Amino acid sequence: MTSSMNDDFARLLSLKDTMTPWALRAVATLGVPDLLADGELGVAELARRTGVVPDALHRVLRLLTARGVFTEPTPGVFAPTTLSRLLESDHRPMSLRPWLDLDGAIGRGDRACVHILEALRTGLPVYERVYGRPVWEDLASDPALTASFDAAMATRATALAPAVATAYDWPSAHHVLDVGGGTGTVLAELLRTHPHLRGTLLDRAPAVTAARTSWGATAEGRRCAFTPGSFFDALPRGADVILLVNVIHDWADEHAVAILRRCAEALPPRGRVLLVEHVRDGDPGLLELDLLMLLVYGGRERDAADFRELGERAGLRLGGVAEVGGGLSVLEFLL
């Protein structure tokens, strides 16, 4: 082989790697980074604490050490790195552990992705084929899965909330309805940053209950209504801003339009609908997420023209797009 062929061969081999992603998920699920948070530990002790076979764990840790996730200062002894710190449960502003936990809702979706060929042949999500029911129905059937999903969303919202709270003209707003807002992390930050605002949090009953328990008694909570409900049903009226953070990308176009129509129905004449979403631009990470949305949720990532079309079908016009960081943008829609 020529040198360039060797380089291409090596690159393709690295792209086809299946072991590293699953090894990473395995140690996150077992909590190995948490165990190493205070310093190095031997593989035998790590295996004892996680309830796995030492030799098998050693082989996983050797691979991840070669990838830079851990170090091995002495044979059989492993220590943390800046990469493994991101997998610690209490890492701030965002822990990646809930996103890689194979026992949680996100990991359950990841495991369905091995059936990608089925999605290519049907154009439909494969989650239902694997687990016997659509993803949202499956999550709703198991409180532990629901809690793990909400926890993952909350970690992302914690990292995102300060940017959302400063990336828009919130002083001109009065009442924010956070639709599909999970446990209310973003809404709580908005109310904390802008004391003149009132809020309404709308999501599934378990998420709303968790939000009320977590921050309902705070100053922000006393300015917030906690309302269980579905964004496919009529929305509460009275808010001049309706906020949806990473909601629309979960849904195919017809469902996305239905959600936006409900928002349009609930808006006062000069009200605004704000979407916080990725705007697809060719970034490889976003293209990977787009494929995941197909395989698990039946949704998709969209470009600005796609969002404009969705809005028009729902009776809304796109007024502007502003970046908030982390690859996300605020898209403002008006009646």
- For the stretch 25-81, pLDDT in tens is 999 999 999 999 999 999 999 999 999 999 999 999 999 999 999 999 999 999 999
Minimum mean pLDDT among 11-15, 41-45, 203-207, 270-274: which range?
A: 11-15
* pLDDT attached to residue 108: 97
Cβ contact 199:175 at 8 Å: yes
Q: What b/e string do you get for 65-96 counting C-beta neighbours within 10 Å, with b at 16 or more? A: beeebbebeeeebbebbeebebbbeebeebbb
Distance CA 21, CA 243 (A): 34
13 pLDDT band (50/70/90 cuts)? confident
Position 168: which residue type? Y
Q: Tell me the pLDDT tens digit for each residue of 84-130.
A: 999 999 999 899 999 999 999 999 999 999 999 999 999 999 999 99
Output the pLDDT for position 281: 83
Buried/exposed code over 301-322 (b: 16+ C-beta within 10 A; e: otherwise): bbeeebbbebbeebebebeeee
All structural domains of the chain with their residue ranges = 3-90, 152-281+296-334
Structure tokens belonging to residue 196: 């003149």
Asked if residue 93 has a cis previous peptide bond (ω within 30° of 0), the answer is yes
* CATH fit for domain 3-90, picks 1.20.1050.10, 3.40.980.10, 2.120.10.30, 1.10.10.10: 1.10.10.10
Nearest residue to 47 via CA among 27, 25, 65, 67: 27
Q: What is the pLDDT of residues 148-200, one digit of tens each?
A: 999 999 999 999 999 999 999 999 999 999 999 999 999 999 999 999 999 99
146 contacts 139 by C-beta, under 8 angstroms: yes
* Closest to 319 (Cα-Cα) out of 279, 273, 277, 267: 273
Residue 165 main-chain phi, psi, to 5 deg: -70, -15
Please give the structure tokens belonging to residue 30.
């077992």
CATH topology of domain 152-281+296-334: Rossmann fold (3.40.50)
129-140 pLDDT, tens digit per residue, is 999 999 999 999
* pLDDT confidence band for 147 (50 / 70 / 90): very high
Q: Which of 202, 105, 89, 96 is nearest to 147 (CA)?
A: 105
Q: Model-level pTM?
A: 0.92
Neighbours of 7 (CB within 10 A): 11
Question: Which amino acid type is present at position 84?
Answer: S
Compute the distance between CA of residue 242 and CA of residue 173 in angstroms, rounded to an integer. Answer: 10
Cβ neighbors of 116 (< 8 A, separation 6 or more) are: 126, 291, 295
Active-site amino acid positions: 249
Pair of tokens at residue 302: 């969209």
pLDDT of amino acid 236: 98
Instruction: Return the pLDDT at 1.
Output: 63
- pLDDT score, position 326: 80
Taking the mean position of all CA atoms in its chain, how far away is CA 208?
A: 18
> Phi and psi dihedrals of 8, rounded to 5?
-65, -40
SS3 172: helix
Residue 225 CB neighbours (<10 A): 17
pLDDT at 207: 95
Whether 3-90 shares its CATH topology with 152-281+296-334 is answered no
What pLDDT score does 6 carry? Answer: 79
Q: In the prediction, which pLDDT does 42 show?
A: 98
